[in-house]
Structure 1
Amino acid sequence: MRNAGKQTCAFRPFMGASLMILIVDHREITVSYENNTLCVRREGGKLQRIPVALLEQVIVYGSPTIEMPVWRALSTAAVPTTLLSQRGSQEPAIMAAGLAVRLPLRRLQFRCAEHTGCAVAVARWFLQQKFAAYDLPLSHFNAEQRQPFKQQRAELLDKLNQADSIAKLMGYEGVLAAAWFALLAHGLPDKWRFNGRNRRPPQDPFNALLSLGYTLLMADIRQVLVCEGLDPAFGFLHQPVAGREALVLDFAEIFRAAVDFSLYAFLGCLNPKDFSYSQAHGCRLTKDARPTFYNFWAEFREQCPRLSADDEGDITFSSLAEQIRGKVAGFRGILNNQEQDNG
Structure 2
Amino acid sequence: GKYSGDAPQLKGARYFPYYELKNCTNNFSEHNEIGAGGYGKVYRGLLPDGHQVAIKRAQQGSMQGGLEFKTEIELLSRVHHKNLVGLLGFCFEHGEQMLVYEYMPNGSLKESLCGKSGIHLDWKRRLRIAFGSARGLAYLHELANPPIIHRDVKSTNILLDENLTAKVADFGLCKLVSDSAKGHVSTQVKGTLGYLDPEYYMTQQLTEKSDVYSFGVVMLELITAKQPIEKGKYIVREVRTMMDKNDEEFFGLSAIVDPVIKSSSPNQASFGKFLELAMRCVEESAPDRPTMSEVVKEIEAILQNDGINTSSTSTSSSAMDFGIPKGRNLYDALTRKDGAD
Question: TM-score surpassing 0.5?
Answer: no
More helix by share: 1
TM range (shorter): under 0.3
TM score, norm. by length of structure 2:
0.24
